[in-house]
Amino acid sequence: ADLSFAWIFNEYPSFVQEDSRRFVSQETGHLYIAKVEPSDVGNYSCVVTSRTSRASSSPVLGSPTPLVLRTDGVMGEYEPKIEVQFPETLAAAKGSTVKLECFALGK
């Protein structure tokens, strides 16, 4: 099934808007937030919708996941690294668009 992912912040219809700090992977459904701020604290719920279903299918809403700020200062510094999970091979039709996701972490 061809799925579409979105995230609700606290309650509908407040959807997470992608910007320079927020990214929603359409490959995995994961939500990534860089440089978390106090305004990011709250509950996040994933919404999954089928884009190819001919029958009218309702979006599926996941249970809320809370984001809280740590106050103990234990997070520390992470050395820079790039996370990739590319397949060994990726077949694609000539002239089509291929999207590969990778993420940089650390300081």
Tokens 């992977």 sit on residue? 25
Tens of pLDDT, residues 53-65: 566 678 899 999 9
Asked whether residue 23 carries a pLDDT value surpassing 60, the answer given is: yes
Tell me which amino acid residue 18 is: E
Domains and CATH numbers, the chain: 3-105 (2.60.40.10)
* pLDDT given at position 17: 96
Dihedral sign, CA of 76, 82, 84, 88? Answer: negative
pTM: 0.76
Which of 107, 16, 106 lies closest to 67 in space, CA to CA?
A: 16
* Confidence category of residue 86, pLDDT binned at 50, 70, 90: confident
Integer Cα distance of 44 and 17 in angstroms: 12
* Confidence category of residue 11, pLDDT binned at 50, 70, 90: very high
